Amino acid sequence: MSEQDIKESVSKKALQLGIKLRITSISDFIDQWKQDNYQILRLNFFFAVMVLICSIISMISTLCVTVLLKKKEYGIRIAFGTTKRQIIFSLCFEILILNVIAGVIAFVYSYFNYKNTAISSFQEIYIKTLCSTSLIGLILLILFLVAVVLLIPVTILARYNPVELIKEED
């Protein structure tokens, strides 16, 4: 029995029962939903990008202030034999840990938000999609954020000479 035969038999039965029925595939339904909600999706994407840009700017400014406040500490660490590369890696590790913690909190929040509000028949689909696709995207986004955010503070840190760092007056 072909797809067309199934559609015809279901349509005949629905007509006999006086029921209005439309048979579509899930992919057709999703495509129609995308067309109907395209403007909303674009607006949501725009707001998400704006929040991401604001987050990046705020993280960069926070890190720059941290580097400026820890100048003397970095100078002392360099005087005791720590290389600038090791200091930069420790800064990268610190930011990576902070972003991972924020990502885990956001993921757990999203998971329970989807789990509690999803229609029961689609709940499993939402959870599987969140755990597979969104988790990979979240990890990639965290790595991208760490790379972008560290550019300016690392260049500031690399400019300093150890002597200038230790002599810095408060």
**pLDDT 10s digits, 67-107:** 888 888 888 888 888 888 898 888 888 888 888 888 889 87
For residue 83, what are the domain limits? Answer: 62-167
- Domain count along the chain: 1
Residue 87: CB atoms within 10 A of its CB come to 19
Residue 106 lies in a domain: yes
- The segment with the largest mean pLDDT, out of 34-43, 79-88, 153-162, is 79-88
- The segment with the largest mean pLDDT, out of 14-18, 50-54, 74-78, 135-139, is 50-54
Residue 156 lies in a domain: yes
- How far from the centroid of its chain's Cα atoms is residue 89's Cα? 23
* pLDDT for the residue 132: 66
Residue 79 lies in a domain: yes
Residue 17 lies in a domain: no
pLDDT confidence bin for 50, thresholds 50/70/90: very high
Percent of the chain with pLDDT over 70: 85
Per residue in 58-82, is it b (16+ CB within 10 Å) or e — as a string? ebbeebeeebeebbeebbebbeeee
Residue 161 lies in a domain: yes
Q: In the numeric block, which tokens belong to residue 156?
A: 């500031």
Residue 7: CB atoms within 10 A of its CB come to 14
**Lowest pLDDT segment from 31-45, 57-71, 79-93, 104-118:** 104-118
* pLDDT for the residue 160: 80
Distance, in Å, from the CA atom of 92 to the CA atom of 158, rounded to the nearest integer, reads 13
Residue 38 lies in a domain: no
Residues sharing a CB contact under 8 Å with residue 50, sequence separation 6 or more, in sequence order: none
pTM tops 0.85: no
Residue 77 lies in a domain: yes
Residue 152: CB atoms within 10 A of its CB come to 14
Residue 150 lies in a domain: yes
> What's the average model confidence in pLDDT over 35-43?
83
Q: Is 25 helix (H, G, I), strand (E, B) or coil?
A: coil
